[in-house]
Amino acid sequence: MSKHQYQNRKFVIAGIAIGIVLVFIIQLFSLQVATDRYKKNADSNAFLKKTIYPSRGAIYDRNGELLVFNEPSYDVAIIPREIVDLDTLDLCSTLSITKEYFDERVAKMKDRRLNPGYSVFTPQLFMTQLTVEESAVFQEKLFKFPGFYIQRRDTRKYAHNSAAHALGDIGEVSKRDIANDDYYTRGDYIGRQGVERSYEKQLRGTKGLEVLLRDAHGRIQGKYKGGELDIKAAPGKDLTLSLDIELQMFGEKLMQGKLGSIVAIEPSTGEILCLVSSPSFDPSSMVGRKRGISHRDLQRDPTKPLFNRSIMATYPPASVFKVAQGAIFLQENIVDVNTTFPCYHGFVVPGLRVGCHTHPSPVAFKGAISTSCNSYFCWGLYKMIDNRKYKSPAEALTVWKDHMVTMGFGYALGVDLPGEKRGLIPNAQFYDKIYGEGKWNGLRIIHTAIGQGEILLTPIQIANLSATIANRGHYYVPHIVKSVKNDTISQLYRTPKQTSIDPHYYDYIVEGMRGAVIGSPYGSTARRANIPGIEVCGKTGTAQNRGRDHSVFMGFAPMKNAEIAISVYVEHGGFGATSAVPIAALMIEKYLNGTIAQERDYLVDEISKTNLIPYDLKKY
């Protein structure tokens, strides 16, 4: 056996075989067990995860009238990997876009900074919000463009062109929205303003998912595991607003050509009946692809139509603030209802004079409110801040501020709309900073007494004050959503908040405010608010201003069991009685009677045609 010498070579050959199999097993391990990269790849290969968009909840007014609903529009999506032999020119002409626009959209789609979820395997949003007609043209030629898909999406449609600020709008999510909430992916819509934003979670519903199997040619082979992994889309919940759209439109009409706000609240519930901010805009202009241009134009408008004055503007409240002051003086026993103060055409102490109009003097609490006596409230504040019963003016002011806060001032009320401002109620530290610690007293801050100086309130805070008085000492946080279908509104809006003022003091205030409307021995300021058959109570204010004064009114009706509390603020409207009072009166009449009596009908026309926008803003 000469070949016996090679017998050991069988080990080499066996070794080679073992080595090969070993290398294969190691490679198998590294592919299958050591990484899940291939698994992910396989999933994006085989599964087409189709999002099922839920319909967004509709919005109704308090009487069940439909305000906002959905209209179908169509998005064009691309699965980049599936595109073959794209005839770009044909595509552009079908979609009636330019080649440049096409290139721009593709570049944006592929930019991973703008679109972190970009993948060649999954549908990428290419164009949004095609109309039914546009999409029909595209659908017809869709077979020519493999890799292109049409997705149905809803856009918002508005039944009326009013209440834009309250309703708000929706827009495509930003990068930050996506980062904040992983519910969203690029191209999704999110509420941008108004209730669309504050009730986004209720309105949007829940997206569904359909897991489809896709073969190597991109053909759908059916549902994966018979639809076991599919998630049904849950439609968004309908909202019923507390808004009365009739009243809202009426208010917007009256506020035409004026800057300012009307806020009306139902005192027994805190429901907002109307929320007018003027100037406003047509909510439909914020829908679809024209949104960008409209938004830009509105943003450039110097009258700031996008600015929701009713909750965002902070104004000096002027004389309407006197009732809050008076309530504190009564509560703190600085005055009683019969205490009188002299008024010599104003509050006069050595070195200081706050003017007042002509009326009988001296004057007691109710009369002071009816005639809006500056002197009375200056005396009141002076006596309170410099009162010996407090250790220092600072302590007195702290007590005063705490009362103010319980009335809903100084902090945002918590309205269910985005962007509410808190206004300003100064505290002791605030004056310490300005005048130095211990270097100020009641006289230094005397303008606060009549709602001037540092005091700033939002129109909704003024309306809330009115509602609190109507309720004799408590209020519900104003809110615009009355109910959510199959859901409840926040506990915040269902529990009353008590002020720190004894309820019976409010009766004096109410009587004073009633006197302002129907007249009192000391005079009255809001006679134009007197509507036969309706017991209106009110308080005017005239906020000093560079240029023409702002006109303010706050009131409620009827006197007992009030159904509406209102604040009207007209920038550059002159005396409270001039602009704000007639508007408020018409609003109250409209709401309580449903119509305006014939003899006052002329007023509606007259007021709505009055333009009070300062010339330098108008020229735009």
Partner 1 sequence: MISKSTSIWKALDWWTVLLYVLLVVCGWLSVCGASYEYGNPDFIDYSTRAGKQLLWITCSFGLAFVLLMLDDSFYRNFSYVFYIGMILLMIVTIFVAPDVKGSRSWLVFGPISLQPAEFGKFATALALARFMNSRTFSMKKLADVLILALIIILPIALIILQKETGSALVYFTFFLMLYREGMPGVVLFLAIASVLYFIVGIRFDEEYFANSTVSIGEFSVLVLSLFFTSCLAWVFRRKKSVSLFILLVSTFIIGVSYLISKYLIPFNFIYSVYLCCLIAITYLIIISIKSRKWGYSLIALFLVGSISFLYSIDYVFDNVLESHQRVRIEIVLGMDEDLSGAGYNVNQSKIAIGSGGLTGKGFLNGTQTKLKYVPEQDTDFIFCTVGEELGFVGSSLILLLYLLLILRLIVLAERQTSTFCRVYGYCVLSIFLFHLFINIGMVLGLTPVIGIPLPFLSYGGSSLWGFTILLFVFLRLDAGRAHRLHG
- Could you say whether residue 114 binds partner 1 (CB under 8 A)? no
- Could you say whether residue 31 binds partner 1 (CB under 8 A)? yes
- Could you say whether residue 118 binds partner 1 (CB under 8 A)? no
Considering the complex, state which of residue 209 and residue 604 has its C-beta at the smaller distance from partner 1: 209
Considering the complex, state which of residue 41 and residue 333 has its C-beta at the smaller distance from partner 1: 41
- Could you say whether residue 14 binds partner 1 (CB under 8 A)? yes
Instruction: Round to whole Å and give the CA distance between 343 and 121.
Output: 82
- Residues contacting 220, CB < 8 A, separation 6+: 48, 212, 213, 214
What token pair was written down for 394? 């600072």
| Packed helices 322-331 and 393-406: angle between N→C axes, nearest 10 degrees | 110
Centre a 10 Å sphere on the Cβ of residue 132 and count the other Cβ atoms it contains.
Answer: 10
Instruction: Round to whole Å and give the CA distance between 155 and 4.
Output: 88
What token pair was written down for 108? 């944006």
Centre a 10 Å sphere on the Cβ of residue 426 and count the other Cβ atoms it contains.
Answer: 20
Q: Give the N- to C-terminal CA distance of the chain in Å, as an integer.
A: 113
Considering the complex, state which of residue 83 and residue 349 has its C-beta at the smaller distance from partner 1: 83
Considering the complex, state which of residue 176 and residue 219 has its C-beta at the smaller distance from partner 1: 219
List the one residue from 64, 112, 216, 351 that touches partner 1 (CB under 8 A): 216
- Could you say whether residue 43 binds partner 1 (CB under 8 A)? yes
- Could you say whether residue 411 binds partner 1 (CB under 8 A)? no
Considering the complex, state which of residue 117 and residue 222 has its C-beta at the smaller distance from partner 1: 222
Query: What is the DSSP pairing of strand 239-241 with strand 59-60?
Result: parallel
Q: Which listed range, 22-30, 155-163, 487-495, 550-558, lies at the site for partner 1 (CB under 8 A)?
A: 22-30
Q: How far is the CB of 82 from partner 1 (least distance, A)?
A: 11
List the one residue from 156, 204, 214, 366 that touches partner 1 (CB under 8 A): 214
The amino acid at 49: K
Q: Residue 518 burial by CB count (10 A; 0-12/13-18/19+): exposed, middle or buried?
A: middle
Helix/strand/coil for 3: helix
262 with 568: CB under 8 angstroms?
Answer: yes
Q: Which listed range, 17-25, 493-501, 543-551, 560-568, lies at the site for partner 1 (CB under 8 A)?
A: 17-25
Considering the complex, state which of residue 97 and residue 213 has its C-beta at the smaller distance from partner 1: 213
- Could you say whether residue 229 binds partner 1 (CB under 8 A)? no
Q: How far is the CB of 41 from partner 1 (least distance, A)?
A: 5
**Window 46 to 85, contacts with partner 1 (CB under 8 A):** 46-47, 81
What token pair was written down for 266? 């139902």
Q: How far is the CB of 77 from partner 1 (least distance, A)?
A: 20
| Residues 65-101: b if buried by 16+ CB within 10 A, e if exposed | eebbbbeebbbbbbbbebeeeeeeeebbebbeeeeee
Site mask for partner 1 (CB under 8 A), range 163-202, x = bound: ----------------------------------------
- Could you say whether residue 110 binds partner 1 (CB under 8 A)? no
- Could you say whether residue 35 binds partner 1 (CB under 8 A)? yes
Q: How far is the CB of 14 from partner 1 (least distance, A)?
A: 5
Considering the complex, state which of residue 10 and residue 296 has its C-beta at the smaller distance from partner 1: 10
Site mask for partner 1 (CB under 8 A), range 586-605, x = bound: --------------------
List the one residue from 29, 101, 411, 435 that touches partner 1 (CB under 8 A): 29
- Could you say whether residue 136 binds partner 1 (CB under 8 A)? no
Q: Which listed range, 25-33, 162-170, 284-292, 321-329, lies at the site for partner 1 (CB under 8 A)?
A: 25-33
Query: Quick one: CA torsion of 184, 187, 188, 189, rounded to 10 degrees?
Result: 130
List the one residue from 88, 180, 221, 544 that touches partner 1 (CB under 8 A): 221
Considering the complex, state which of residue 110 and residue 433 has its C-beta at the smaller distance from partner 1: 110
- Residues contacting 277, CB < 8 A, separation 6+: 165, 261, 307, 308, 309, 310, 313
Task: Tell me, by CB under 8 A, how many residues bind partner 1.
Answer: 42
524 with 516: CB under 8 angstroms?
Answer: yes
What token pair was written down for 285? 């202009």
| Packed helices 322-331 and 503-518: angle between N→C axes, nearest 10 degrees | 140
Binding site for partner 1 (CB under 8 A): 3, 6-7, 9-10, 12-14, 16-18, 20-21, 23-25, 27-29, 31-33, 35-39, 41-43, 45-47, 81, 213-217, 221-222, 224
